[in-house]
Amino acid sequence: MQRESIWQRHRKALITIIILVIISPIFGVILANMVGYHEPLDVAAEKLGLHEWEFTWTPFTDYTVPGLPDTIGYIICGFIGVGVILGIGTILYRAAAAKTERGGAA
């Protein structure tokens, strides 16, 4: 029997997620710049002189992509994050489905 993909199972939810990522810079970049938003705990750290330890093993700090405008970078980061999560989810889903099929065949 043909197994349904995650896309086929949750198409409406995934379309909603794509729309959320596309509109996210309106809130996370454009409006944030208008009101001078910074993460509250980061602001507290700066004012108190606490030093954040920098581990920069990816170039996507604070949902930016080097060389790209913040809005485009924010969208790309959104898709990278969603892609990573769904990639892991697909592995889990296939493993669970394979286990179920083995159980059913046994």
Partner 1 sequence: MHIPDGFLDPVWIAITYAITIGYGIIAAKKAKKLWTPERAALLSVLAAGIFAAQMLNWPIPGGTSLHFVGGALAGILLGPWLGYFVLVLVLVTQCLIFHDGGITTLGANILNMGIVDVVVGYLVFKAVIRAMGNTRKARLIGAFLAGWLGITLAGIVCGIEIGLSPSFPYGVAITVPVMGTWHAILGVIEGIITAIVVDYIYTKAPHMVISLKTPVEVVSRAA
Query: Given the rule CB under 8 A, which residues bind partner 1?
Result: 3, 6, 9-10, 13-14, 16-17, 20-21, 23-24, 27-28, 31-32, 34-43, 45, 48, 50-53, 55-58, 60-63, 74, 77-78, 80-82, 84-86, 88-90, 92-93, 95-97, 100
| Residue type, position 41, single letter | L
| Cα separation, 10 vs 12, whole angstroms | 6
Output 2 or 56, the one with its CB closest to partner 1. 56
Burial of 93: CB neighbours in 10 Å, binned 0-12, 13-18, 19+ = middle
- Distance CA(35)–CA(41), nearest Å, equals 17
| Residue 95 beta carbon to partner 1: minimum distance, rounded to whole angstroms | 8
Minimum CB distance to partner 1, residue 46 (Å): 10
Minimum CB separation from partner 1 for residue 65, in Å? 11
CA distance 7 to 86: 10
